[in-house]
A and B are shown apart, each in its own frame.
Chain A
Amino acid sequence: MRGRRSITLTAGLVLALGVGTFTAACESGDAGGGATANFGADAAGTLTAWAFDNADDVGKARLGYAAKALPGVTLTMDQTGFDAQKFTARLASGEVPDVVQMDREYVGTYAAQGLILPLDSCFTANQVDPAQRWYANVLDDVRYKDQLWAVPQFYQPPAILLNTTVMRAAGVTPADIDTSKPDVLLAAIAKMYKASGGVPTTLGFNPQAVGQTYLWFVAQGGKLVGDKGVPTLDDPSNVRPLELLKRIVDAQGGFARYKSFTDAFDVFGDQNQFVRGQVGAEVDAQWYANVLAPYKDKAELSAVPFRGSDGKPVAVAYGGSFVIPAKAKNPAAACKWALRLTEDGAWNAAAEARAATRAKDKSVNTGLFTGSPGPDRAIREKFVKSSGNAGFDQVVNTFYDVVATGRSAGLSPAGQQLKQELTTAITTTLLGQKTPQKALQDAQTAAMAAYTSIAGG
């Protein structure tokens, strides 16, 4: 009797509490892959857009421009950020938006499954030559199996910001912060690095090992993605960048202490790592120059390009993009809307809005990095003026100088998982848990499992 009661009680409790782990209500349906769309049709009717979550002055100006250019379109927006789980649920329900903004590194995942439309005919039908409109590396970010799967936007190249005050005090020159010469770089790091009781107080060089993953690997001669988007994390060329990162981090207290130290930075505040002298040099994307602009007179800044193993400046970064789901109800309007948002007129409107904002704030206009060479040039010439601070002007100019050196890390169906596995490989190596080779091998196994699962081998 007691035994039966035990079983009943057990089953009841586990049933009531245990099933929360997996209760996704699902619905079978057609993938819709291979669906075709008439992108040449007039843009009209209702257009539903999701994840256009950058509606600041720049975003609003572009939206206003697109609305004027497409008067027959009624736009309904969901401005919440892109979320893979939410997108999956929406795809399963069949109730998808017409256009979705997502990071370019995730486009391959949906392209490989036929969940979004290839957009070559969108470009052709609207007389847009992608090679003219976007940088080659930006297009490579959304190219899968020789087709373009997204309308790209923004490309904010990384470079190395220098804290001249810290460097000068340690006798380090900008030429010493050279990522193509590890020994020179490590010597500079050793001069600038300071610790108290084993805890870092000043980093010589913050490599942003996890935040700038693609930069480190691709620029240092590594190869992350092969043909057809197959992950190649265990490629022998990836060992060198990982070993270099380990040397840099080990020279500054080891990964655990380095990570805890950088986690405590007041990145967006007036006590940021440059003002407080917590870094001598740091890899940063262009947007961080905007953050530092108000503090240009509190920290003496300059910049140098990130150099590849061949000694040449190089920049690797993804950005945003617009994709059109295969089940979109109004793909023609979606295509035209995305193209309008990324054409010269839209960027000019955005640049004017940004200039007005900066004038109102009495702050520095560091320009916009649109992903398109034409607007980038035009905006730089028309709106980017001297800030009155030579060091900061040099920072702005450095980012503009490296924008043309961009390389793409490639597009893989394993997108999200590839990044996760690479990050895990970096972490386990920097923590000393695995050798670079073993960490990359394990990462490759996991990334390949994801690739096979998504792309079907």
Chain B
Amino acid sequence: MPAALRARKYNRREAVAGYLFITPWIIGFLVFTLGAMIYSLAISFSHFNLATGRMRPGGLDNYRALLDDPRVAGSLRNTLFFAVLAVPLEICLALLLAILLNRVRRGAGFFRTVYYLPKMTPAVATAAVFLLLLNGNTGAINRGLRAAGIEGPQWLVDPAWVRPSIVLMALWGVSGTMVIFLAALKNVPRDLYEVAALDGAGPIRQFFAITLPMISGAVFFNVIILTIYAFQVFDQAYLLFWRDQNNVAPESSLFYAVYLFQQAFRQFNFGFAAAMAWLLFLILMVLTYLQVRIGNRYVYYEAER
């Protein structure tokens, strides 16, 4: 048998094995993701009440209602504000922590574990802690600021500071992003730094000339993932402000996913909620497409060397 034919056969066998390995995921994806998406698209064109099971055709009613409902635009604005603030901050903080951890030699495992712990903490527990930390009068954050002579804001009540307070809570879970950066940093060849040092490049120059380009793939990945997550933010806003009707919830804390949840499960407006979900999907598609198009110009792919 010619070598080329043997190789092709081998490749086909390998491909079949690969597909078999991912079959459970494909089935899960088709049933629980694609199936649910198609279903949600269908009900977005209907007036559907999940609790009663009643469904009647709605045409474009729900999509028209998206334009008419001021809370859709308001919640999108709040979400966009959060994304614009949270994504860059999370990227910078995660990168900073990853660089610090990458330099640690003794006790590296201990520090990595400690820094990753917040990611393992349940969101409810984190929210409970942040309710105390962010108290405008007695919270630890404002006490610290007061000690430095700064009068801190009323984080959880003042509408102007509600969204930044949710960003702060989101930053608590930065370690997931940090781990990806750390892995990328570990893959940067040391000899590049040695050569740069011989050429007289200082740490800052090395960072911008070597580190950042070499980990640009990880940065790119994290920016896309965090942007998508930011537009879907729910836990933090819901736990801090919307978990029950006795909570004081400034309008600036009404994020898109929270409003979607309210429409679906408090007002039983599943058709409208589905239309909201598809609007978000389209927004994310456009944003991610733009990020990919722009990002590809700056990302260094090892395979393309």
Contact = CB atoms under 8 A, between A and B. Distances in A.
Interface of A: 2-3, 6-7, 9-11, 13-31, 33, 84-85, 87-89, 91-92, 110, 113-115, 199-200, 210-211, 255-257, 259-261, 263-264, 416-417, 419-420, 423-424, 427-428, 431, 433, 446, 449-450, 453-454
A114 B225 CA distance: 43
B246 A24 contact: no
Contact of B269 (A6, A10, A211, A453): A453
Nearest to A431: B159
B262 to A, nearest CB: 8
A247 B224 CA distance: 48
B225 A423 contact: no
9 contacts: A9-B292, A19-B277, A21-B277, A24-B40, A25-B32, A257-B154, A263-B131, A417-B262, A423-B249
Given A19-B33, A24-B50, A424-B249, A6 B266 contact: no
A23 B33 contact: yes
Contact of A6 (B48, B131, B270, B292): B292
Nearest to A196: B137
Contacts of A88: 50-51, 265, 268
A437 to B, nearest CB: 17
B36 A18 contact: no
Q: How would you classify the secondary structure of chain A's contact residues: helix, strand, loop or mixed?
A: helix
B86 interface: no
Contact of B51 (A7, A115, A420, A427): A115
Contacts of A84: 265-266
Contacts of A11: 285
B18 interface: no
Nearest to B142: A260
B43 A200 contact: no
A11 B250 CA distance: 35
Residue among B37, B249, B267 with the most chain A CB within 10 A?
B267
Interface in B232-256: 232, 245-251
B218 interface: no
B232 to A, nearest CB: 6
Interface residues of B, number: 65
Contacts of B262: 417, 420
Contact of A2 (B39, B270, B296): B296
Interface string B181-200: 00000000000000000000
B168 interface: no
A181 B156 CA distance: 32
A7 B71 CA distance: 31
Contact of A261 (B33, B50, B137, B273): B137
Contact of B265 (A7, A85, A420, A423): A85
B136 A28 contact: no
Interface of B: 32-34, 36-37, 39-40, 43, 48-55, 69, 71, 131, 135-139, 154, 156-159, 224-225, 228-229, 232, 245-251, 257, 260-262, 264-270, 273-274, 276-277, 280-281, 284-285, 288-289, 292-293, 296
Nearest to B65: A449
A168 B232 CA distance: 53
Contacts of A30: 53
A199 B137 CA distance: 7
Given A256-B154, A260-B157, A92 B51 contact: yes
Contacts of B40: 22-24
Nearest to A253: B137
Given A6-B293, A13-B228, A453-B268, A260 B156 contact: yes
B67 to A, nearest CB: 14
A424 B246 CA distance: 10
B266 A416 contact: yes
A22 B43 CA distance: 11
Contacts of B261: 85
B247 A22 contact: no
Contacts of B71: 446
Contacts of B48: 26
A18 B232 CA distance: 8
B135 A6 contact: no
Contact of B246 (A18, A210, A446): A210
B53 A454 contact: no
Given A23-B32, A92-B50, A260-B139, 6 more contacts: A6-B296, A10-B288, A16-B33, A18-B281, A113-B52, A428-B251
